[in-house]
Structure 1
Amino acid sequence: MDIFGIKALLVCALIFIPFEHLFAERPQKIFRKGFDVDLIYLMFNAFIIKVAMVMMAAVVLHVAAVLVPQSVTRAVSGQPVWLQVAEIILITDIGVYWAHRAFHKIPALWKFHAVHHGIEELDWLGAFHSHPVDAIATKAISLTPIFLLGFSEASIAVFSMIYFGHTMLVHSNLRVPFGPLKWLIASPQFHRWHHANQREAYDKNFAGQLPLLDVLFGTYNATGNKAPEKYGVDDPIPASYFGQIGYPLRPRRKVSNRAVPSAEA
């Protein structure tokens, strides 16, 4: 049993590394700064998150069996799979948007999310560079309604493949023109401006998959084809995996500009 996702890692590497070399947004080495740490995040964090999600799903399904009428869950799971997947994308991304925004706006939560923003060279592997508290909380918030409403296992499986593939894409070092689709589907350009350590990018582009949520709630940052000057955060983030895991518990010597709620929020 490949509990650490080695096979999935190799498949993803074989897909993204060549394309990032051929269609790079900016020149960058394959074994860039933090590459080894991100491998640990991918394998070790993935195991922790899977365990947490299985436990969460078991609890939510038990609650659903008691509180949610079977007529509701039968109606939801009886829909065509493609329609269920579309509904799951919408519901989960609303959860991701507000959880993500909270992790930016609440200083105690930002300490955990800052670990993800500490990435200074962005590529597909950076998709997995998240503190476990950040990742588990966001997934719990976004997926709880899915388990409560009784979406089918097949639709959740299809959504999971779309979600993980898309998450790697938006973190990738790829220049991919989305054209008019940029308003409907989050692109690498859309998300790299969320990671930009520049004032005009702070607290923008929170959606994971649906940029229209940022348009609707006033947090969309339209950047055209311009690339960010730099990524990262103001605070020095430890270089090691365990240093980053313990980082949110350490007293902070300098407050990042990102941790200060903006006047427009």
Structure 2
Amino acid sequence: MMELLGLKSILIIALIFIPLERLLPLHPEQKVFRRHWLNDVIYLFFNGILIKLGLLLVVGSLMIAIRVMIPEQGLPAYVQAQPIWLQAIEVILIADLGFYLAHRAFHSVPLLWKFHAIHHSIEEMDWLAAHRVHPVDQIATMTASLLPIFALGFSGSAVAIYALLYQAQSLLIHSNTRISLGPLKWLFASPQFHHWHHANERQAFDKNFAGQLSFIDVLAGTLYMPSRMPTGYGTDEPVPPLYHQQLAYPIKMQTHRASTSEAQISEKAR
């Protein structure tokens, strides 16, 4: 999201998206200071520290292991010899394939879903809500996106282009806007595409996993994008509303489940 941006960049983005959501609102009745906006501001300013440290540790450790097992030879030189524009396209495609697979896993594996449910607890979509992501969720998903890129040796410029486009698109697809990409919606993720991913409607569950390239969902058979827009978002399960509670929520739920299982086993043993 915006973990790598400074205060000045955040202010500029706010000055772009707040008026945009007022001029072209999808849900005009939604307020700028909607429910739990302050909680998402805390995510914006504090979550990035945890995510940066986690990515540095996880991706750094894995890159060291990869270089030990597979010594660097001619591949990075070949990759970096390509034009920057071609590298950027390849980086976006590879990164979003990794994103798709990790995102789908967070929906499929019950333990992982507890972390991802924090992001799906958003009930009013806007640019700020894009930052409500549990650090474990973001670290794992971004590792799946970034590790292949770094292992293949793409240039820093190509990775920077990807990062800029990813962050801009992430804000756009969460925003409370009725911006449409027209026929390009079948190729690129749009607000319509991602709002349906967050929709609290049975038909939309576990759909639209890509972060940037909607055609991945088209090819994988996980696309759901009717012409109308969803009216409700969020999860059926109750998620606590505050930042510190949401950080602890997946662990508490897992501990509670383990305690319940132990109690049931003890009861059967009597």
Which residue in 2 is equivalent to 1:80?
Answer: 83
Which residue in 2 is equivalent to 1:196?
Answer: 199
Give percent identity, aligned residues only: 50
SS in 2 for 1:193: helix
Give 2:168's aligned amino acid: G
Give 1:12's aligned amino acid: I
SS in 2 for 1:205: coil
Deviations 1:85-119 (A, max 9, x none): 10011001111111111101111110000000000
SS in 2 for 1:180: helix
Distance 1:64 1:111 in 2: 30
Which residue in 2 is equivalent to 1:9?
Answer: 10
Conserved 8 A contact 2:97-2:145? yes
Q: What value does the CA root-mean-square deviation take over the aligned residues? A: 1.9
Distance 2:45 2:188 in 1: 27
Give the deviation of 1:64 after TM superposition. Answer: 4.5
Give the deviation of 1:3 after TM superposition. Answer: 7.8
Give the deviation of 1:126 after TM superposition. Answer: 1.2
Distance 1:184 1:84 in 2: 19
How many residue pairs get matched? 252
Deviations 1:216-260 (A, max 9, x none): 111100211x11120000111111101111111223899xxxxxx
2:49 is aligned with 1:47:
yes
Which residue in 2 is equivalent to 1:22?
Answer: 23
2:254 is aligned with 1:247:
no
Which residue in 2 is equivalent to 1:172?
Answer: 175
Taking structure 1 as reference, are residues 123 and 8 closer, same or farther at Cα in structure 2, changes over 3 Å only? same
Bigger radius of gyration: 2
SS in 2 for 1:48: helix
When normalised by structure 2's length, the TM-score is: 0.89
Give the deviation of 1:55 after TM superposition. Answer: 2.9
Taking structure 1 as reference, are residues 68 and 125 closer, same or farther at Cα in structure 2, changes over 3 Å only? farther
2:71 is aligned with 1:100:
no
Which residue in 1 is equivalent to 2:264?
Answer: none
Give 1:87's aligned amino acid: E
Give the deviation of 1:155 after TM superposition. Answer: 1.0
Which residue in 2 is equivalent to 1:263?
Answer: none
Conserved 8 A contact 2:118-2:132? yes
Which residue in 2 is equivalent to 1:232?
Answer: 234
Distance 1:207 1:251 in 2: 27
Distance 1:54 1:113 in 2: 21
Distance 1:111 1:245 in 2: 10
Which moves more between the two structures, 44-53 or 101-110? 44-53
Distance 1:77 1:143 in 2: 16
Distance 1:68 1:129 in 2: 38
Distance 1:235 1:42 in 2: 24
Conserved 8 A contact 1:118-1:233? yes
Deviations 1:46-79 (A, max 9, x none): 1211222233343344345441542101111121
Alignment of 1:81-230 (within 5 A): 81-224=84-227, 226-230=228-232
2:38 is aligned with 1:36:
yes
Taking structure 1 as reference, are residues 189 and 55 closer, same or farther at Cα in structure 2, changes over 3 Å only? same
Which moves more between the two structures, 48-57 or 33-42? 48-57
Give the deviation of 1:127 after TM superposition. Answer: 1.2
Which residue in 2 is equivalent to 1:259?
Answer: none
Give 2:8's aligned amino acid: K
Deviations 1:175-220 (A, max 9, x none): 1121110011100000000000000110110111111111111110
Distance 2:111 2:242 in 1: 21
Give 1:108's aligned amino acid: L
Matching residue within 48, 71, 81 for 2:74: 71
